[in-house]
Structure formats: C-alpha cells, structure tokens
Amino acid sequence: MTLIKSISGIRGTIGGRTNDNLTPVDAVKFAAAYGTWLREYSKKDKMTVVIGRDARLSGEMIQNLVVSTLVGLGADVIDLGLSTTPTVEIAVPLEKADGGIILTASHNPKQWNALKLLNEKGEFLDAEQGAKILALAEKEDFDFAEVDDLGSVVKNDSYIDVHIDEVLKLSLVDKETIKKAGFKVVVDGVNSTGGVAIPKLLEELGVEVIKLYCDPTGHFPHNPEPLKEHLGDICKKVVEEQADFGIVVDPDVDRLAFISNDGEMFGEEYTLVACADYVLGKTKGNTVSNLSSSRALRDITQKHGGSYKAAAVGEVNVVAKMKANEAIIGGEGNGGIIYPESHYGRDALVGTALFLMLMAEKGGTVAELRASYPSYFMSKKKIQLTPDLDVDALLTAMHDKYKDEEVSTIDGVKIDFAENWVHLRKSNTEPIIRIYTEAKSQMEADSLADQIIDEIKEVAGLK
C-alpha cells in the first residue's frame, strides 16, 4: 500500500510496479487527469498551470513528466523549479493561472513523492473536485492536443523572492521592529527548499542566521518530520551558538517548529498558539484548528475575546471552517499557520515573520514565552495497518466503548474527557491509524495513548 490516492492528490513511493507505487506511468496518468479536469473546470482551451517542487531526489524526474504531460494537453506551464508549497500557492493567483501542482511528499521520507493539486485561488481542491480527478485517472479517458496546439513552458525561479516580498507587505509585519531586536537564529532546512527560503527571509529582516542542513540536495540528514526525536542536532546547535531560538521546517515548508533558547522544543502545537496570540492581540477575531490540535489555541482565543471552532483534519477542511467562521488566523497543530491576509494555505514563512514580531514586541526569551501559555502535553502515536484490518469497524467499536463521553465522529473518532482527549483517525497519507492524545502532563498523555492502543489491539485481535 505505497500508492495512496486521495482527494488532495496522489502520493507514493518511487520505483516498483505501476499502480502500486508512484511510477512514471502513475505520475503521467494523474497529471493528465488533473489537466483534463482543469480544462473542463476552467472552461478554457488554453490553460496556465504553475508547477513547483521541493528538493527531494525524485523531484526533477517527476516534474519533467508532469510538465510534459500538461504541455501535451495544450496547457502553458509556469515552472518555478525548486520552490515551496506556500510559494506555489501564492504564485497561482499572482500569475492569474488556472491551477497549480506542487511536487512534494511533505514530511514523508526521501523515497516518497506526491502531486498536490491546487485550484485557481492557489488553494487545495475540495472533495468533489478531487473525486472527479480520481475517476478520470481510473478511466484514462484523456484527449491530448494536436501538434499545433501543444502548450509552452516558461521558467521563473524568482518566486521565493516574490513570496518574501509578499510576507514583508503584511500589515502586522514590520521589518524595522524585527531588525532592532537583533535576533540570532539557527535554521534546519532538512536539505530542502526551506534551507533557501527561510534564511533569505530572515536575512531580509535583519536576523543573524546560522544555517544547518540548508543545502537543497534532497539528501535529508534526518527523518524530515519535525518531531523532537529527529531534531537533536539543532537543539544542541541553538545552545552552542547561544542563539535566541531555532527554526525547523519540513521539506516543502508548510510546517514550522521552533526550538527555544534552552535547546528544548517550543512544541509544534504552540507555533499556531504563539502566532495567534500575536495576531489576536492586534486584531479582534476568531480562530480555527483541526480536531487533533491543542486546546491551548481555544484558551488563547477566548482570552482575547474571540471564538474557536474545530475542523476535520486536512487543510481543505480547516480552510472551509475558517471561511465559515470568519477566522483571522488558523491552521493545524503540526506547525501549519494559515493567515488569510496572506493566503489560505499553511505557510512557514508567514509563521516565522509573525513569531519574530511577537518576540520583538514582547521581549524576554522564547522559553519564557512558552512557559506563559496554558500547559498541555501531546502524544502522537500510530498503529501500522495490515490489509485485512477493518479500520472502520475498529473505530466504531472504540466509539461504542466510550459513547457516554463527549464523542465527535466528523473525522475518525475524537473522545473528549474532562481533563484530556484522544483522537483516532485513519491517515490520508500513510497506511496507519493515528492516535493523538492531549493531557496536563506528558506521562498522562503517553499513558492514555498506550491504553487506547492496547484497547484497539484487543478489539482487532492483535493481542
């Protein structure tokens, strides 16, 4: 199960057999399905599509296949080359393009790649649109352009600079305020495009940058998911350099994590909490995060007089809920900041600028800032799935077991207890069940997760 087709795109491992992995044939088929859908959706014979990729090893190969397929459909392509997910999202409306594709498998290891699909606003497709593309790919009913009608390719490698300019234009970002603070920051760019984009932004803001793994070779120096167990090097480096803090991003730069000045994790969940604290302190409004995110955002939002709502997991769901709730900031607890004044997409560059403003205005250390927030601890665990497991039946059994508690089923099963919660859901991107818990201590969060895992295994007959 290494080719995962979902409404948000197609993700798989490189190599192997067609339809089981992300092979060249699968890349072409899904690019053709997207282009075919886009032609009908845009009602244009001559479409323009923006393409960008992270630095992973298979990126250039997949990009060549996708670009050529779109050209074969008659689409004009704006090729950003090495880019970031939020950069492509910003480029689509700026270029007045009809859609976009980002070639990245986000936080997945180097053997993975993916096609992430955007609409004309630079936002991810909704479920109905994604389902149409999956159906088109299944049928392989494509109508390619005649030779005189082939598309063209224009290369534009300036968009990371354009993206930085867009961040500097935001009303709550003031370059001089950040410059005066004289920050020194360590950046771990996991040898992908964040190693280019984040240092460039920081230097533009007058921040002294210490680079760690910022060469975009695609050779990830550690597991690219920005979790504590993968980040020993930067934690050590922040202390050694006596830096104010550290910044870690994933390969496509839509997730953002900070390391405090003492070398401890600030906590991915608290990236959104801190950025929201700054924005809500300047502008009254509401927030949204997903069901797997910390209660701390709710607490901070209410402190500032706003209202908080939870959405199903998935960026498209969070964005829909943000629009419905008129949220002025939102995102996901995995370090994904969505700030509508910029665009409706998770953006580590925007998050970095907002966090720098908060620190510049508050003063003090990052460790002190973290200590000032409501203290919750999360455990994020997973159970590997086997093909014979009936996941839906497992989740139903867990729902029934805890039916007397406050239970939500809008996305998997979330059980809210008085002092803690657990959220069980099938991953869209990997063959696993994710088990997220949150409690007032790490021991309690881990213990609750282990208890739930044991109960699931018992129900599944794995014990």
Q: Is 106 a catalytic residue?
A: yes
Q: Does residue 441 sit in helix, strand or coil?
A: coil
Q: Write the CA distances from 193 to 8, 20, 134, 202, 249, integer angstroms.
A: 22, 28, 29, 14, 9
Contact 4, 128 (CB under 8 A): no
Query: Going by C-beta distance under 8 Å and a sequence separation of 6 or more, which residues neighbour residue 403?
Result: none
Show the DSSP H helices in 8-78 as ranges. Answer: 24-42, 59-72
Show the DSSP H helices in 57-168 as ranges. Answer: 59-72, 85-94, 127-139, 159-168
Distance from C-alpha of 273 to C-alpha of 51, rounded to nearest angstrom = 32
Within 296-392, strands assigned E span 308-311, 327-332, 336-338, 377-384
Site of tokens 């930067």 = 234
Q: Does residue 77 sit in helix, strand or coil?
A: strand
Site of tokens 């607490």 = 299
Closest CA to 383 of 331, 409, 415, 422: 422
Distance from C-alpha of 295 to C-alpha of 377, rounded to nearest angstrom = 10
Closest CA to 282 of 354, 176, 232: 354
Q: Write the CA distances from 389 to 303, 392, 457, integer angstroms.
A: 44, 9, 11
Closest CA to 230 of 221, 240, 239: 221
Site of tokens 């997903």 = 290
Q: Which residue among the candidates 106, 192, 294, 379 is catalytic per the annotation?
A: 106
Active-site residues, by number, are 106
